[in-house]
Structure 1
Amino acid sequence: MITTHPSQPCTSYYHKLAVESAETARLLMFIPGNPGLVEYYTTYLDLLQEQFPTLEIVCASHAGYQTTKSKDEEEVPYKYYGLKFQTQHKHEILKEHILRHHSHGKKVDLYFLSHSMGSYVLQRLIVKLNEDVELKGKFKIKLGGFICPTIIDIAQSDSGVLFTKLTRYLPIVPVLVFFSTLLQLVLSEHTIRRIIGRFVVSKPKLEDDKSLESWANSITGCYNIFRDGKIIRHAIDLAREEMTDIVRDDKFNDWYFQELPLQGTKLWSFFALKDHWVHDHSRSYLLSRYHNPEKNVVFNVDELEDGITHSFCVDQTVEFANITFHSLRRLFPDLQPGSQQGVGSLANNALGELRNRAPTHAGEEI
């Protein structure tokens, strides 16, 4: 169930305790992309916990993207929360969990997954965790996971170029907010949801329960953006900052991809074949500079024309959960409890229909 975070500003929050206990607390934190809504990812995270029941799940929206407020809740003025704040925001949320487990005598193994610009936030979150004196010795980062990461030169991507031109010549925020308000005046919620489901959110190819559940969640997420002008404005304002701040930083990325693994952290990155937010040159540059499986820096590239897209969380949740499952099982053979552990909904509902393959390393053939 998605709730409102009790202490963080304008934050929706998804938290599931581990189903099975382990010697150390195992916590998976997922950091969304932009727009940073939790709704897009809940089914995906549920599927992962089915495969790895010792994982506790934490996913917070970015600050400013709260969709869980009631109609009676007092309206708060718009406030912008930039990239630095989003990093601090995740640090504070995670710190609460680490200290909670420490108070019960447990160290925490941290597993991170992040989507799009969430990967940029994750890199800087890890820096803050390592610098936090109060947390020293209380956690270990096991996994840094990137999904379609926008960590360099986002403005050079196809969508980055288009977005920059639109925001330069058009008052895009007031236009979008105006049409959102107008349509809500003339159309019912049911009609708006039907339009979103037919024209905005692609219907998944699979028709199992989990794929349809994820599709319904995505429709809800899009509707929640549509009905809230502050979320629309925040998504545009944050994207503007991304265009100027997410650039090539070899010194920082050398630390992340080359020095962090020396501390025992395994790094996994997944890239789509065609990604409108990640330029081919950016992907090739990262692959050629950092891919090193022998040192636990693994890059997977989907090379199928009909493969995973940047917006996997909308209509490819089950497919990508299967890819993630294979990748994590390869990286952490002992994470899955018991050699005969089943694959839950992935097997029962959809695996027969999937291209059931483990993802490839960079340079491997499918």
Structure 2
Amino acid sequence: MPVNTTLADEIEFRTGQGSSSKRLLIYFIPGNPGLVEYYRRYLSQLQESLQHRKEEVIIYGASHDGFEFHTPSNRINQGSPPFSLQQEIHCVRSKLSLKARELSTDSQPLDVILIGHSVGAYMLLETISWWQKQPTEQSIYSIKGGICLFPTVVDIAKSDKGRSLWPILAFPGTGYLLSGMASCLNAFWLLDCVTRNLTPGPEGGAVTAAFARSDHGIRQLIYMARDELASIKEDKWHAQDLWGTVHESNGNANGKIFNDERESSTSIATTPGAPRTKLYLLFGKDDYWVNNDSRDNLITARHGGHTTMEVLHNRPEIPHTFSLHPEHSDHVAEKTAAWIATLESE
């Protein structure tokens, strides 16, 4: 089916001081559906919030393999979609490496900050864990921080959505069935109306319609979601290497709870440790893709080192799909920019 030719598979914004010899790459990783167009407003607002930076800032994001609107010219994975979660993680690592090589200079490694939404946050943590073991990559770019937005990084199958959708996702023919339904709706000129009503918030309807018309998008979404529910379980990462936690803790002795005066949201900030990638995790109050008990256990266990975790207790209206709502998208972009400023000042 023909798709909207104005929609892109890659988005890049530049801001800050273009004449500066120093550069900062902010690499954005979408969730599922892995369509970077869903985040255009968020990334644009982030660009505006960072315009006074002293270095040149490159904000870049790309759709995941299999979600492309257009015939891919630089797809990382070989073969035809759908691709697994691990294949998509490989794709993120490879695209990050290529982008960093494009922007880096011989004088010093390129500074990089990763941002991931939903399962993109899981990909972010996997990418940092991989990068920590790659001396060649470290000589080209340095991942200074990772910002995880509404992260689905543990026990996704225990979430409200995970429990309700698993029977549908587990059915082998779901992807083909939904693709066929989209083709029928398109034939009767109903697809735009249906996708507009199915898309949360006032923005993103055109993106959803183009996604439904794409060659592989629906099957890629289903295949990847099934893999997510089967794969994303316990906290699998090294306590010290990734989280920066020197020892396990059952309480909050090494952490501190404070209130954001602007939002009155509960946060847990960790004590400084050895220099390493700093992590920021922003959770919704009752995110339907996150099990609250698993979330709270993660916060309790990983409060040491260089990790800040925040739960938007007093902003329950900000949903998992924040980027499809202008007000919420702008708010999260401002918070992201503030974290970037904090990260750079430490």
TM-score interval, smaller chain: 0.7 to 0.9
Query: 1:275 touches 1:310 (CA, 8 Å); kept in 2?
Result: yes
Letter in 2 for 1:93: K
Deviation at 1:245, TM superposition (A): 0.9
In 2, the alpha carbon distance for the partners of 1:330 and 1:60 equals 26
Answer yes or no: is 1:196 the counterpart of 2:208.
no
Letter in 2 for 1:193: D
Q: Where does 1:266-277 land on structure 2 (aligned, <5 Å)?
A: 266-277=278-289
Answer yes or no: is 1:243 the counterpart of 2:229.
yes
Q: Deviations over 1:267-296 (max 9, x none)?
A: 10000011111011111111111134xx43
Deviation at 1:327, TM superposition (A): 3.2
**Which range moved further: 246-255 or 152-161?**
246-255
12, 27, 31: which one pairs with 1:15? Answer: 12
In 1, the alpha carbon distance for the partners of 2:336 and 2:237 equals 29
In 2, the alpha carbon distance for the partners of 1:277 and 1:324 equals 21
Normalised by the length of structure 2, the TM-score is 0.79
SS of 2:104's equivalent?
helix
Deviation at 1:57, TM superposition (A): 1.0
Answer yes or no: is 1:228 the counterpart of 2:228.
no
Deviation at 1:306, TM superposition (A): 4.1
In 1, the alpha carbon distance for the partners of 2:195 and 2:286 equals 24
In 2, the alpha carbon distance for the partners of 1:322 and 1:36 equals 23
123, 126, 132: which one pairs with 2:125? Answer: 123
Q: Which residue of the partner structure matches residue 303 of structure 2?
A: 291
Give RMSD over aligned pairs: 2.7
Share of identical aligned residues, percent?
24
Q: Which residue of the partner structure matches residue 150 of structure 1?
A: 152
Q: Which residue of the partner structure matches residue 255 of structure 2?
A: none
Query: 1:16 touches 1:56 (CA, 8 Å); kept in 2?
Result: yes
Structure 1: state its 5+ residue gaps.
Answer: 5-11, 71-75, 205-214, 335-366
Letter in 2 for 1:41: Y
SS of 1:136's equivalent?
helix
In 2, the alpha carbon distance for the partners of 1:326 and 1:291 equals 20
In 2, the alpha carbon distance for the partners of 1:15 and 1:2 equals 15
Answer yes or no: is 1:40 the counterpart of 2:38.
yes
Normalised by the length of structure 1, the TM-score is 0.75
Deviation at 1:194, TM superposition (A): 4.1
In 2, the alpha carbon distance for the partners of 1:2 and 1:84 equals 30
Q: Answer 1 or 2: which has greater strand percent.
A: 2
Q: Answer 1 or 2: which has greater helix percent.
A: 1
179, 185, 202: which one pairs with 1:183? Answer: 185
In 2, the alpha carbon distance for the partners of 1:14 and 1:305 equals 29
Deviation at 1:164, TM superposition (A): 1.1
SS of 1:243's equivalent?
helix
Q: Which residue of the partner structure matches residue 320 of structure 2?
A: 310
Query: 1:308 touches 1:320 (CA, 8 Å); kept in 2?
Result: no
In 2, the alpha carbon distance for the partners of 1:56 and 1:220 equals 26
In 2, the alpha carbon distance for the partners of 1:224 and 1:244 equals 28
In 2, the alpha carbon distance for the partners of 1:87 and 1:168 equals 22
Corresponding residue pairs, total: 304
Letter in 2 for 1:234: Q
Query: 1:180 touches 1:229 (CA, 8 Å); kept in 2?
Result: no
Q: Deviations over 1:76-112 (max 9, x none)?
A: 9842221222122122212123223334534211111
In 2, the alpha carbon distance for the partners of 1:164 and 1:286 equals 23
In 1, the alpha carbon distance for the partners of 2:68 and 2:62 equals 9
Query: 1:266 touches 1:297 (CA, 8 Å); kept in 2?
Result: yes
Structure 2: state its 5+ residue gaps.
Answer: 73-77, 247-272
